[in-house]
Amino acid sequence: MIEYSDVIVDLQAGDTGKGKVAHALCKDGGYTHVVRYNGGGNAGHTIYHEGKKFVTHFIPCGILYGIKSIIGLGCVVDEKKLEKEIEDLKKFLTPGHLKHLYIDHRAHIILPSYVEEDSRDDKIGTTKTGNGPAYREKYNRTGVRAIDHFKNNWVDLLIDSYSEFHGETPVRILFEGAQGFELDVDWGDYPYVTSSHCTVGSAILNGVPPNKIRKIYGVAKAYRTYVGNKNFEGNDEFFSKIRTIGEEYGATTGRPRQVNWLDLNMLIKAININGVTNLIINKLDVLNDVNRHSLYHNNQLIDFINDDGYIRYIKGIVNKQCPTVQNIKFSLTPYDI
Ligand code: IMP
Ligand code: MG
């Protein structure tokens, strides 16, 4: 029986600090489950937990708190990489913590041949983790599901989200997304997108009805980044400074992320399509450090004297154009949500 579920959704092209928001929410959100709802090894969530740095690709951050953590049915899983991630976590966590990890038996498997195929991509600039081929095979109905792949080993990990969420025990779920709105296969800049859905709809597909969604945490950064083959970064001396100070290098591939100013129109679109209730804009401290606060709105670059004007402008427009938003937080590091 679902009491409520909250969703974390990325409003840009990934790398906005969702992992850190998830980590903060897990601490005192009262959740019984944390579910990853899309993506696979392409995602990289950097989390600091009790003074240690964790980079996870598949495993939801609920595991750090001993909360039941499910790799949801919309995800694709690379067995070898997941095994390594579990081994790495074993160095820090007790077996008691790790027994809370599950995979929905309907999730699909990334085969080594998919990784090999993806490694030859020179068009999109993928993470070369086999993500695209795994989703292609899934929708072609020639994919391999976890239930078929893990027949003899790892069966203890498999779970059925329906019986888990709709039994007699009350559950409170946190959905944790990967990638983001600008990389969504439908809403993103096709074909420079990932192969899954990165909107709140993707969370609902896990067997949770829309009317059981309580809060939708939309996460953005005070500037935009993108990794991939399209030309994204404009000419501005500040972008390389932002990249260095903001540590804008891929958590999965180490590639430098291209940087640009916040696009307020795009942000509003992402907020409205996802029905965001709680807006979190991270890394404002990076703009403070480079001492420049600019954004694009209606195709114009607007410069502000300081963060105060920048914050007021965004709040004013969002409050006018995004009726679902109840709360706007500009989080400086560390993330106090
Ligand atoms: P793929 O998801 O590996 O197929 O890559 C497709 C596009 O999405 C590429 O431009 C990747 O750089 C980008 N991408 C995929 N996952 C992430 C992520 O977690 N953060 C940022 N960009 C990503
Ligand atoms: Mg990331």
Nearest CA to ligand 1 atom 2: 194
Could you confirm whether 33 is annotated as catalytic?
Answer: no
DSSP classification of residue 9: E
- Using only C-alpha atoms, the chain has a radius of gyration, in whole angstroms, of 19
Helices (H), 173-305: 200-204, 237-245, 264-274, 284-290
Residues contacting 258, CB < 8 A, separation 6+: 225, 226, 227, 231, 232, 233, 239
For the sheet with 223-226, list strands across it. 223-226, 258-263, 293-297, 300-304
Could you confirm whether 104 is annotated as catalytic?
Answer: no
Q: Are 146 and 105 in contact (CB under 8 A)?
A: yes
Does the CB atom of residue 195 touch ligand 1 within 6 A? yes
Q: For every one of its 337 residues, what pLDDT tens digit does the chain have, with 9 covering 90 and above?
A: 999 999 999 999 999 999 889 999 998 889 999 999 999 999 988 888 888 888 889 999 999 999 999 999 999 999 999 999 999 999 888 888 899 999 999 999 999 999 999 999 999 999 999 999 999 999 999 999 999 999 888 889 999 999 999 999 999 999 999 999 999 999 999 999 999 999 999 999 999 999 999 999 999 999 999 999 999 998 899 999 999 999 999 877 889 999 999 999 999 999 999 999 999 999 999 999 999 999 999 999 999 999 999 999 999 999 999 999 999 999 876 555 5
Does the CB atom of residue 38 touch ligand 1 within 6 A? no
Nearest CA to ligand 1 atom 19: 43
Angstrom CA distances, 127 to 137, 193, 229, 283, stand at: 18, 11, 11, 24
By most ligand atoms within 8 Å of CB, the mutation choice from 128, 131, 183, 184 for ligand 1 is: 183
Residue 252: CB atoms within 10 A of its CB come to 18
Nearest CA to ligand 1 atom 1: 126
Q: How far apart are CA 196 and CA 180, in angstroms?
A: 10
Sort residue 236 into left (φ over 0), alpha (ψ -120 to 50) or beta.
beta
Does the CB atom of residue 44 touch ligand 1 within 6 A? yes
Q: Specify the pLDDT at position 333.
A: 61
Does the CB atom of residue 56 touch ligand 1 within 6 A? no
Ligand 2 mean position to 166 CA, how many Å?
A: 31
Q: How far apart are CA 270 and CA 3, in angstroms?
A: 26
| Catalytic pick among 6, 23, 33, 45 | 45
Q: Which residue has the tokens 């409205």?
A: 272
Nearest CA to ligand 1 atom 23: 179
Ligand 2 mean position to 316 CA, how many Å?
A: 29
Q: Which residue has the tokens 């959100």?
A: 29
User: Which among 279, 310, 219 is positioned nearest to 11, based on CA atoms?
Assistant: 219
Q: Which residue has the tokens 């990794």?
A: 227
DSSP classification of residue 107: P
Does the CB atom of residue 115 touch ligand 1 within 6 A? no
Q: Specify the pLDDT at position 218.
A: 98
Cis amide prior to 95 (ω within 30 degrees): no
Q: Are 60 and 85 in contact (CB under 8 A)?
A: no
